[in-house]
Structure 1
Amino acid sequence: MKFRGKIVDVACLNHFTRVVSTISKLTKTCALRLTPDHLFFVLCGKVASGGVAMWCELAQANIFDEYQMEGVSSQDNEICLEVTPENIFRALRTVHNAKSVKVKLTKKHCPCLTVAAELPTMSSVNRVVTHDVPVDVIPRRLWHEFKEPSLPDFDVSVYLPPLKTMKNVVDRMKNLSNFLVVEANLSGQMTLKIETDLVSVTTHFKDLGNPHWGDRTSQDGGSQSPRDLDAMAQARVDIRKLQQFLVGQQVNPSRAICNIVHQTVLHLILLHQDVSLQYFIPALA
């Protein structure tokens, strides 16, 4: 296995750093899949068992000026690593003003992602800073756990309100309850509400719009009668998991989408140029 990438463009380096920062806020460890064309950060939590799941996809051509990789074999041309995103973020953050940054898979005392940065200097002598980030190689037999999740058969899909606004609302609600009910319908309406023995608080959003997903049974009813446009689908979730998603967001997405499988899962999608991030939060009874 071999991997080597070089980033020269400062904007690309900053963009990649923001993406890794977002991932580091969502999970302590995850899988990093390297393919000839893409990088994937994957958290395969068992949603059915109450865990969150994540899938983040980046096109390598929009990050690296040079990119070379050889997978475990010609048939399975991938590399799959277990990484700590926070460690990668710290390495990238310290070299944000570098002239160029090289990232490669090395073998030191253990497998590492080595980040080597050429820093600007006033003299003719090059100044290079190197960070070795330990990783674990995930064996081929476990790769099936890190495949792209299928799009859930959702009941409602709606565009999210501005994420900063949503974060402010959730931050306030977190002080009142550990659980939050997210509701939405096909008329572009969404509500966030908490209900306890002492208080009931609801925030309403309207005119958000609904994404068009083509011929989907959950959206157009298929052979069944179409879903009532005003009927709410809901998911009651751990408010800390939703807050974690909103706090960690550094991607500044051009589109943010919420899909709800009624009383089953909250599926959040951030889209920005070459980056897509999916986050699955299980619904609670």
Structure 2
Amino acid sequence: MRFRAKQLDIGCITRFSKVVATLTKSVKVCVLRLTPDKLYFVVVERGTVGGINVWCELSQENFFDDYKIEGKDENNEIYLEVALDQLSRTLKTAHNAQVVKIKLVKKQGAFLMVEVIQPSLVGAQRTVVHDIPVMVVPQRLWADYQEPAMPDIDVSIYLPPLRLLKSVVDRMKNLSCYLMFSANMNGELTLKVETDTVSVATYFKELENHQFGNDDGIASSSSSTAIRSREQFSQVTVDIKRFGHLMQGQFAPMKAICNVVNGRALQVFLLHEDVSLQYFIPAMMK
């Protein structure tokens, strides 16, 4: 089992670092799924109350100049459990690097060795090596880390600009741990928090509703939106901190789409031309 990759373009190094930093805002540990064509960061928190599931997909050719993998099965894949905060801190040291090399090595255990080659003021190169411990996921558990199936959604809507949404949620989370998210297929969205003494709501209108099959990389589902009136709201209550984490990262998506599964969950897609981030946030019971 072998893996090595190299980055030479500072833009690719920076984008990869920002994606990892964004994921770190939401979760601390994930499974890094490596395939010949793509990298996936996968989080499955089935045993956690209010825990989220995360699926991040990157095409390796958009981030690496050299990429080699020899996996364990006929699909040539490797699954590694890695601490995202350690990987993020390591990549932050590469903000002005000439070369970044990543390699899977064995040193009394499995490690991702990240070699950062930086220019020096005297003209010579300076190399810093980081060893990040990882755990190889047994093949019998791989089925737990496949792409999540699309739920039967009730409403799909494009979110307002994330900076604006973040400012609203940041104020609301000082009042309550729960966020009521309501939307309809008429482009209307309401964010609301309630306590024993106060009720605060923010309303958005004239938002676009997402239509499946728009070639945006989101698979369609047997959605129930066709049998609901456009004015009918679907609502779900979620952990407000979990929802807020989605807007705290450094990754700036071109599109942000939210699917509401009435009373059950939110599914949020953050899409860029070479990155797809999917969050599944289950409903919370007050």
Indicate whether the TM-score tops 0.5: yes
Separation in 1 of the partners of 2:55 and 2:183?
23
Mapping 1:162-181, distance limit 5 Å: 162-181=161-180
Which residue does the alignment assign to 2:28? 28
Aligned-CA RMSD value = 1.5
Which residue does the alignment assign to 1:118? 117
Q: TM-score, normalised by structure 2?
A: 0.94
Which residue does the alignment assign to 1:238? 239
Alignment CA distance shift 1:156-1:91 (3 Å): same
Separation in 2 of the partners of 1:107 and 1:100?
22
Alignment CA distance shift 1:125-1:210 (3 Å): same
Give the deviation of 1:41 after TM superposition: 0.3
Give the deviation of 1:220 after TM superposition: 4.9
Preserved CA contact (<8 Å) 1:83 1:134: yes
Separation in 1 of the partners of 2:267 and 2:225?
19
**Cα shift readout 1:62-119 (whole Å, capped 9, x = no counterpart):** 000000001013x141000000011111111112111111001011232111111211
Give the deviation of 1:12 after TM superposition: 0.3
Alignment CA distance shift 1:164-1:124 (3 Å): closer
Preserved CA contact (<8 Å) 1:47 1:280: no
Find the residue that maps to 2:197 and give its secondary structure: coil
Alignment CA distance shift 1:119-1:216 (3 Å): closer
Alignment CA distance shift 1:118-1:22 (3 Å): same
Give the deviation of 1:122 after TM superposition: 4.3
Separation in 1 of the partners of 2:71 and 2:229?
49
Mapping 1:180-219, distance limit 5 Å: 180-214=179-213, 217-218=222-223
**Cα shift readout 1:262-285 (whole Å, capped 9, x = no counterpart):** 000011110001100001111123
Which residue does the alignment assign to 1:15? 15
Give 2:211's aligned amino acid.
Answer: H
Separation in 1 of the partners of 2:187 and 2:177?
26
Aligned-residue identity in percent: 48
Which residue does the alignment assign to 2:277? 277
Separation in 2 of the partners of 1:82 and 1:152?
26
Mapping 1:3-82, distance limit 5 Å: 3-46=3-46, 50-73=50-73, 75-82=74-81
**Cα shift readout 1:199-231 (whole Å, capped 9, x = no counterpart):** 11110011110111147542553xxxx311010
Give the deviation of 1:125 after TM superposition: 4.0
Give the deviation of 1:251 after TM superposition: 1.3
- The unaligned stretches of length 5 or more in structure 1 are none
Separation in 2 of the partners of 1:9 and 1:47?
40
Separation in 2 of the partners of 1:6 and 1:76?
22
Give the deviation of 1:49 after TM superposition: 5.3
Which residue does the alignment assign to 1:107? 106
Aligned length: 279
Alignment CA distance shift 1:126-1:246 (3 Å): closer
Separation in 2 of the partners of 1:72 and 1:151?
28
Q: TM-score, normalised by structure 1?
A: 0.94
Find the residue that maps to 2:181 and give its secondary structure: strand
Give the deviation of 1:240 after TM superposition: 1.4
Preserved CA contact (<8 Å) 2:32 2:80: yes
Separation in 2 of the partners of 1:47 and 1:181?
23
Which residue does the alignment assign to 2:217? none
- The unaligned stretches of length 5 or more in structure 2 are 214-219
Separation in 1 of the partners of 2:222 and 2:43?
28
